[in-house]
Structure 1
Amino acid sequence: MTTVAVTVAVLLLGLPGMALGSLYILRSADEDVHRRATQIANVVDKNVSDQREGLKGRGQQGNFDVLPLDVMRATVDGATYPMFVRVAISGEKAEVGAQTDEDAIEHTATGTSGAQVTVGIERSAVWRRIGLFISLGGAAVAVSFVVAVALARRQSRRISAPLIYLAAAAEQIGAGQASPRMKKSGIEEIDLVYEELVRTADRMAGRIAAERQFAADASHQLRTPLTALSMRLEEIEYISEQEEVRQEAASCLEQVERLTGVVTDLLRSSRAVEASTEAVSLSRLFEQQADEWERSFAKADRRLVFEDDAGVAVLATPGALAQIVATLIENSLKYGGGTTKVAARKVGKGVVIDISDEGEGIRKDLVDAIFNKGVSTGGSTGIGLPLARSLAEGAGGRLELAQAAPPIFRLTLNAVPKSINPQEILPAGAIVSVGARRRRR
């Protein structure tokens, strides 16, 4: 908007201003020669009048010098442009300055004494002055554009950065974060929206806590009478001698057991803590995996190499990401050969982690089914890779076989942009270090 405003100002003011300025310079030059010619003609008329009065008073007659050479020289020397002045009266002529430009701007004034005064300036000099004025105007326009673009970029960053943080705060609320963190931006409207998001998060947290507490209390209060009722029905079923009563007691007991299962599920749900997506540091993850697997690879006389060329954190569930990488490393150790390499690189807005080795790879008949449950290349259960793919999809990523021989498994995840400071938009402790726990396939 700032750039558009400057562009409109230049089109509406700058260009017409330069055109009017050029016209003003040309018109001023024309008025200058007209004014100077008239002034010199008046001086000649005054000289003629003074000379005639002086000679008449002495009763003399004859020719007299009325050419104002001093005035003519002063006019030429003080002119802005190269100028020439010619005066002709009673057969006498005088010229100061030479006319070097055939196409000159000139004006001839005729005095009351019959004197003809011609004053002229070089038209090329006037056009040079106009060109200089237009050049300065163009430079001013260019500088204004540069300043406008710089201000626009600065202003856009000042506005866009808080909006990115605001979007991240909303994402935290959607992921279950009760109290998102964000510094005040200084922009009143954005700060008002953020404060309202915080109040909304507090209200949501209160309601969720109340619902969980209600579910826990209700489940706890219902379990005791249901247990007593179940025991009573079992007793009736055991001591009754009537088959019909025993059948009814058994049916009621089944219903009570089903209701007890529902109550147990409610209690378990109220105590469950849902895992949320966080910013996970790949360097710390790689350090943990190296500590866990280097000894096993050394025993197998093989090497495990980690490369983190991405340099950014990824959005994932820490435990799930560690399990995915550990599963792929373990498969490489069991079924692969040579050096196993875990390399991360930045691709667009995401991060790609390639796990590869120098082994024979995946058989052609298993390439399409490698992620199906029960499919294995070494007689194992065949649930490791399907579980890893499911965990990757749960974190918003993708796990695929990029190359069969030598094998390359590719894990794609969303990256946290470098322009966003995780310490400002993510909760404390969000950049985590995954604990060293052995994942089994």
Structure 2
Amino acid sequence: MRRRLINSTLAVVLVVIAVFGVSLVIVETRTISNSAQESVDSEAVRLISVVESRVLGEESVNPSVLGDQIHPRRYARIELPGRAPIEIGERPQGSVITGVERGDSGEVVTVMESRSTVTDEVGRTLMIIGAVALLAVIAAVLLAVRQANRLASPLTDLAETAERLGSGDPRPRHKRYGVPELDRVADVLDSSAERIGRMLTAERRLAADASHQLRTPLTALSMRLEEITLTEDLDTVKEEATIALTQVERLTDVVQRLLTNSRDPRTGSAVAFDLDEVVKQQIEEWRPAYRSAGRAIVHSGKHGMRAVGTPGAVAQVLAALIENSLMHGGGTVALRTRVTGNQAVIEVTDEGPGVPADLGARIFERSISGRNSTGIGLAVARDLAEADGGRLEMLQQQPPVFALFLSRVTRPKGEEPPPEPQPEPTVR
């Protein structure tokens, strides 16, 4: 591209120089010739006036007297009536410029100059014009190279930026070049880089969330299937199969929820639901895992509450908290439901060492974990809670107390809440 820009600029300059140069040479040649002719004619007029004045004054007319009136490079011939011609200077050979003037008494003055003087003057003028044209060409080359670099370098940078985007590096460069058209292309590439970066981040986040969120229901499902394979009681098989089917539905809901949040995290399907059913479902799903670990999971507090949210999302949040207690906590895990203002609160606590002091509120940040885990479970849980209009907070670090706040639905007057279930015995 640089070569094309330089060649095009030089072509334009050479055409301009050729057109104006030829015209200038023609004009200057004619001007020099006319000037030389006028100079010879003027000298002939001056010389005839001198001759006439000396003739009228009866003074002598000779070469020594008239020699000072003639240019050294010119030849003059004075013809007086009844006298021999007077010649001053050397008669030029070849082409000459001639000026002739006649006096009132018959005097004739002829002034000649060789045309070579005009040719020499024209040659000097052509040399000056040629030097100016050469300087113009050099200046045009330098300007063309500078302009080519100014235009080609940004295009090279933009090509590198586009290639970098194609190779998976979506960092915008925020570099501008002072050329509106190129700056517009740079703006578009930077905007595309930001969009690609957001898309890649969303894809990575979806993959991380999916691997974490699907692990819990798959683990629970595998436990139910193990229960089925280890029992011969038909009623137990049916019961466990029914629970497994429920978990498959929850697994489908998890996948759908992840896909929906990956498109638009604000998209939700909040409804009024029975909070006890979600808590009971989670306790039933996690009880085998806690029983295998020699621990217990219990539920206490206010019953019969209805909350606003997405049951599947609330179940995922509780599953994340319960799994977090199973992996990092100790002792009995307690789910306690209570009311504060117009909100329903589900607290999850255990008897373990709690959250390290150096983590604090950072526990909800991605990639923050007290042990060798992914560090995204609580972050995903908080995102799910906020997507439903609720919030997830850590109320206490030692022992750990996490609370899920949801909008509460007040039951109509006259409707009695269901009876509170009896607490289950602790299993150690």
TM-score by length of 1: 0.47
Structure (1 or 2) with the larger CA radius of gyration: 2
TM-score by length of 2: 0.48
